[in-house]
Amino acid sequence: MTTQPPAGGTRKIGRLCAIGLVLATAVMTAGTPAVAASPAHRLPDLGPNVTVFDPGMPVADIQATLDAAHAAQVDAEMGTARHAYLFRPGTYGTAEQPLQIEVGYYTEIAGLGASPTDVVINGKVEVYNRCLEDGGTANCLALVNFWRTLSNLSINVNAAGQDGCRASANIWAVSQAVSMRRIDITGGNLSLMDYCTAGPQYASGGFIADSRLPTVTNGSQQQWLTRDSEIAGWSNGVWNQVFSGVAGAPDESGFPNPPYTTLDTTPVSREKPYLFADARGGLNVRVPSARKNARGITWADGMTPGRTLPLRDFFVARPSDPVRVINSQLARGKHLLLTPGVYDIARSIEVRRPNTVVLGLGHATLTAVHGSTPLDVADVPGVVVAGVTVDAGTDKSPVLLRVGKRHGHRWSSASNPTTLSDVYFRVGGPHVGRTDTALEVNSDHVLIDHAWVWRADHGVEGLTDTERWNTNLGRNGAVINGDHVTATGLFVEHFQQYNTVWNGDDGTTILYQNELPYDPPTQADWMNGDVEGWAGYKVGDRVRTHRLYGGGVYVFNQNNPEIHTENGFEVPEAPGVRLHHIMTVNLSAGTIDHVVNGVGDAADTTKVGAPVYVADHPA
């Protein structure tokens, strides 16, 4: 996504977003797995792209393995490599020899403890600005630091050997499709921007859940959601900073300066499933229970409430497995573990049984082939899909992930909602992509917990903006037809009509981020009948109850800066439809004439980077 530079800077990025296992103690060479495991406790074979570390492995060996992984992935934004690095319970790194990890694209770093405190990293786990020019020395920014995962471990910050600036905090300078879950940080502060590599640069994140954190420097992050966590403090914020169920969250009374939106509790939440090793060394998946009106972490008083599934209850899939085999295993009652890699999906993976878990490791990616719908979930309660990226293919798909049939029976449960956690979508980027809709939710009582739905504004297809508009096709990003659907962290960008359409009643969104498409060639290409443009967030005309907390729609019509969009948000004028803390922002091209329903000033090029806020609609 494009964004403008910090005050006093210049635009640097153009159209960039703004722009199995074997026992071993040897160092892994790039692309080759290594496993450190106690001989008494062999782990199951999770495939060649999962590396498991044991605390008995020399720190230098672990460091070398992870350094090689980062070197291979730091610039692999459009690559196909996927990898998960898992840590058995224990302590890694020492005061004198800390373990300092840098995380690249399509990389998951996770502990295998029942609690985040079971795995301790003495050192750091970090993401810095990525330098895009002059051999990796210039144009350093965080705006395209996508697709990485950090979860289920503790970091005792140790910056020994780092320079004075980087030693000042654990730096996590990331943008969309990056989650931090079940993390406990002590010994130093956390910064969500990299102010050391070429100075502060904007980032476009982001998401934290179920974590206990020190003082956090948000700095240059345009938007961020922190949910069901504890923080010692929070500083700064650019446009849209949302806290839901967070002990220590800042007060929102000064909105829009600072731009904080704070909910005391989260109305509906459920933590992402996670792998953990039991006392005998066996692997299990913990599936947390849903919570109502939650606040704070789930693991303060012991194991996160939920159910434990042994790994033998899962079909452990690899990219070479045919979909018919996967579906046969699901039909027999197995859950599905997708090991890291890119899966070509020519017919739908069909999830038909209630309470089925589909868990991806290392940003496992499902790519549509022959216009398929890669993942199709039935109208049943309690399904959990987590850690999966779904890519459009070159033949147009009707939808990339569907939950429930459009006019089918809705068998749902308010106490056991079907849940999508860290589920990401991509249309274009590494290859041409085409879909009508990316995410379609028809079932009732569905929870969307962190989703990035992206029609790519840049990639390796070699397309001009006008060619991209006519080639990478995506009408809508998210279409929500079910009732009682909740989204905590919904990021939808660059689709060619309404980016989000919410037709179901009694829906709730807590943090919404949208960029309108950069690439419409003319105003005629960007018309909704007689209306100029399509709102970034549309609530259906028949909806009577809807709530949105903290929403932003941004415009950067770089292909034709004269294009107008009439409204950033479009909603029915009904007493039960309430929008709290919404904004539009101009990123230096194009105009959004109003924030919502003709209310609010224009976000035009006289206000570049300065949000136009509406505190509440209706007022």
Residues labelled catalytic: 515
Nearest in space to 244 (alpha carbons), one of 219, 227, 231: 227
DSSP state of 255: T
Non-local (6+) Cβ contacts of 177 within 8 A are 146, 147, 148, 389, 422, 424, 452, 454
Q: How many CB atoms lie within 10 A of CB 8?
A: 5
Q: How far apart are CA 225 and CA 155, in angstroms?
A: 21
Q: How far apart are CA 122 and CA 63, in angstroms?
A: 12
Contact 91, 370 (CB under 8 A): no
Would you state the structure tokens that stand for residue 413, as one six-digit string? 């449960």
Closest Cα to residue 494, out of 464, 472, 523, 525?
472
User: 328 Cβ partners below 8 Å, 6+ apart?
Assistant: none
Q: What are the φ and ψ backbone dihedral angles of 282, each rounded to 5 degrees?
A: -75, 150
Which letter does DSSP use for residue 312 in this model? G
The single-letter DSSP state of residue 221 is B
Question: 219-255 burial string, b = 16+ CB within 10 Å, else e?
Answer: bbbbbbbbbbbbbeebebbbbbbbbbbbbbbbebeeb
Both tokens of residue 34? 């290594």
Report the phi/psi class of residue 266: left, alpha or beta, with left for phi > 0 and alpha for psi in -120 to 50: beta
How far, in Å, CA of 530 to CA of 113, rounded?
57
Using DSSP's 3-state secondary structure scheme, residue 313 falls into helix
Contact 295, 247 (CB under 8 A): yes
- In angstroms, the CA 304 to CA 118 distance is 13
